[in-house]
Structure formats: C-alpha cells, structure tokens
Structure 1
Amino acid sequence: MRALPVHLEAGADLRASLEQIARLEQASGFVLSVVGNMRQACFACPGQDAPTVLQGELEIITLQGTLSPEGVHLHLSFSDPTCQMWGGHLEHGSEVLKGADLLIGWLQESPLNPGTSAHANSPHIQVVLAEGCAWSRRTERLLNGLGLAYEVMPAGSGSLPQISIDGRLIGGYSELAALHTSGALNALIHG
C-alpha cells in the first residue's frame, strides 16, 4: 500500500476532488483518515429519491469507502453546529469550508500472469435497473466505486434492481451491499 496525503482548499467539492485524484493516479484505494469541515453537505439517505443538502459549519467526522479511476463509493458522517450527527452516501455538492486533510491508501496492483489481462478472469456481472429508482442508482454507485464492469439488462417485471454474477442471481442492492460488507463479494468475484 502507498499512502498519499491530500489537502483540499476552501470551496473544493469533496467528491469531485477525490474522483479527479483517483483518475490522475490511475489507482484504486480507500480513505484512511480525514479531518476538516464543510459549508455544504450533499448526501444520499437510505430510502430517499433525492440527495439531502445541509448548509452551515459542518464538521467532518468520518469518510469511508473506495476510490478508483472508474468512480468512488464513499460514506460521509458529520456534525452540525448543535453536534447533531448526519450521514449517508457522499454526493457531488459537498463543499469544503476552511479545508480538509485526507490520507488515501492506494492498493498495489498484483502482477498478472503473462498473456492474461485484468478482465480475462473478471466475472460477468449483469444488472437489471429501473429508471429513477434510488436502489438502482445505489447499485450502480457501488459497482462503479468498486471498479467492476457490468452489463445492464432490459427491465422486466418484479422488484428491481436485480444482480447476477456469472449467471447466479444474488438479489438486489441490499444483498449486494451485504456481500460487499462481509467480504463475500470479493471472494465471489476473485474466486
């Protein structure tokens, strides 16, 4: 692992800045630590169709998740001036107030066997998504944040989203997130 200290100036968009850094680094990693504040927080709460936006002097408590050149999947928690805690999925529009200092851990890529490519052993992931569905958007964010390629299938009937890996139906967003949290998704994808 390689650690990279990052300082974000006042006015920086927290998510957009981290997306740009991951693209410039062409690496995958995660947030190790963060200290700073925001003047505006934009975050997705569970079960809500639109992001929640709060303004004021907001102290960042935690920022956890993954970064890759394909996107980020980050969860933010912060407190408002009354010390009330808030949190959810970090969205664009979360603006730094005075500054933010982060430490990012970049993963070292494992060397590939000669004659193979990074996608040769990748699983075939298929997803059925619904337009305007918050759970479908979360599914896309999680897969993109993990840097996983997937095929979007035409919507049929039943509850959406639906995710299949190598032809095996694993369920919807909740099942995908549970597999990721437990580490079983990594084992399923990387064999």
Structure 2
Amino acid sequence: MRPLPLKLAPGSDLRLSLEDLARREGIHGFVLGVVGNLTRAAFQCPGQSEPTVLEGDLEVITLNGTLSPDSVHLHLSLSDGACQVWGGHLEPGTIVQKGADVLVGVLEQNKPAAATTATAPRLEIAVLPGCPWCSRALRLLRTLDVHHTVITVNDDSTFKSVQSRSGMGTFPQVFVDGTVIGGYDDLTTLHAAGELEALR
C-alpha cells in the first residue's frame, strides 16, 4: 500500500472529487483519514428515501470507505455548530468550505497495468456540484450498476466544453456513445424503457 494525499479546494464536491481521482488514476484503495470543513453535506440515512442535507459551518469528523475506478462506497460523519453529530452514506452535493485534506491508501497489487486500457463506459454524465437533479441521476446509475463516466463542471472551460457538445445549458447532461440524450427526465425515460440495463 502507498499513501496518496489529496488537497481539495473550497467549493469542491467531496464525493465527486474522490470518484474522479479513482477513475483518473485507476485506483483501488480506501480512505485513511480526512481533515476539513464543509458548507453543505448530503448523506443517505438508513431507511430514508432521499438524502439528508445540512448547510452551515460543518466540521468533518470521519470519512471511511473504499474507492475503485468503477465506484466509491463512503460513509461520512460530521458535526454541526451545536456539536451535534450526523452521519450516513456520502452523496454528491457535499461541498468543501475552506479546504479538505484527504489521505487515500492505494492498494498497488489491485492496480493492474491493463486497467488503463479497459473499455470506457458508454454513458457519460456531466454534473454541477450541489445540483439535486445531478445527484438523483448519479444515484439512479449507481443503483442500477450502470458503468458511467462523470464530468464534474467546476469551471468555465469545462462548462463551455460540455455545452458545445450538448447544446444544453441545464444539468445533468447525459451522453451515450458520445451523443447527447438529454437530462434527468430523459435518463429516467431510458430506464422506464429498459434501455439503461444494456449499458452496464
């Protein structure tokens, strides 16, 4: 195992940043530790149909879980201004406040050289940090175990790049085999027609 430090800038999405890292570097590993604070936290509590969302001055206590190029499984605990502790399954839309330092343990033996030449997922999805419809779309894809590539729109150049591909100004933006199919409603339409399963 080798340690890999990751510094997240203010405004970064905690979960999407770790997903991007694992996919980009072909990482199989787990979170060793984290120090940082949040302006917004989204996490799934057991038995609830929708994520719980907190906003304010939030301090991260722990972040545990695993990372791979295909998915991440992370549990977050945090404290609010009243020192009340919250926690659950980390969801997109968890936004770093002043910064966060994450230490990832990379399992070298699980990172074969051939992993970088694997076939890319047919489905791509462009998302904005904090966008609720983006979070729902990502949750749907994870629930159905549909392999996908996430494009996180954190700056103007990325926004212009995906907009030039899609012609859309709203998010999420979903592409299949490089062709735009639309947003969240179009994704659910594909699901209702049973066509998402073919993209696994």
Place the TM-score, normalised by the shorter chain, in its bin.
0.5 to 0.7
Q: How much does 1:26 deviate? A: 0.4
Which residue does the alignment assign to 1:57?
Answer: 57
Change (3 A) 1:46 1:110: closer
Q: How much does 1:40 deviate? A: 0.1
Q: How much does 1:24 deviate? A: 1.2
Which residue does the alignment assign to 1:104?
Answer: 104
- Any idea what SS the aligned residue of 2:109 has? coil
| Larger helix percent | 2
Q: Distance in 2 between matches of 1:91 and 1:36?
A: 17
Q: Distance in 2 between matches of 1:11 and 1:105?
A: 24
Q: Tell me the alpha carbon deviations over residues 41-88 of structure 1, each in whole angstroms, 9 at most, x when there is no partner.
A: 000000000011000000000000000000100000000000000000
- Any idea what SS the aligned residue of 1:50 has? coil
Q: Distance in 2 between matches of 1:140 and 1:40?
A: 26
Where does 1:37-48 land on structure 2 (aligned, <5 Å)? 37-48=37-48
Q: Distance in 1 between matches of 2:88 and 2:142?
A: 12
Which residue does the alignment assign to 1:28?
Answer: 28
Which residue does the alignment assign to 2:9?
Answer: 9
Q: Distance in 1 between matches of 2:107 and 2:18?
A: 15
Q: How much does 1:110 deviate? A: 5.6
> TM-score, normalised on structure 2?
0.56
Q: Distance in 2 between matches of 1:83 and 1:5?
A: 27
**RMSD between aligned alpha carbons?**
2.6
Which residue does the alignment assign to 2:67?
Answer: 67
- Any idea what SS the aligned residue of 1:83 has? coil
Which residue does the alignment assign to 1:93?
Answer: 93
Change (3 A) 1:103 1:140: farther
- Any idea what SS the aligned residue of 1:59 has? strand
> TM-score, normalised on structure 1?
0.58
Q: Distance in 1 between matches of 2:18 and 2:97?
A: 16
Q: How much does 1:20 deviate? A: 0.3
Structure 2 unaligned residues grouped into runs of 5+: 113-135, 146-200
Change (3 A) 1:108 1:86: same
- The one-letter amino acid paired with 1:11 is G
- Any idea what SS the aligned residue of 1:109 has? helix
- The one-letter amino acid paired with 1:45 is C
Q: Distance in 2 between matches of 1:32 and 1:71?
A: 17
Change (3 A) 1:8 1:111: closer
Q: How much does 1:27 deviate? A: 1.6
Q: Tell me the alpha carbon deviations over residues 22-50 of structure 1, each in whole angstroms, 9 at most, x when there is no partner.
A: 01110200000000000000000000000
How many residues matched? 121
Identity of aligned residues (%): 60
Q: Distance in 2 between matches of 1:8 and 1:111?
A: 24
Which residue does the alignment assign to 1:146?
Answer: none
Change (3 A) 1:137 1:48: farther
Q: Tell me the alpha carbon deviations over residues 79-102 of structure 1, each in whole angstroms, 9 at most, x when there is no partner.
A: 000000000000000000000001
Change (3 A) 1:52 1:111: closer
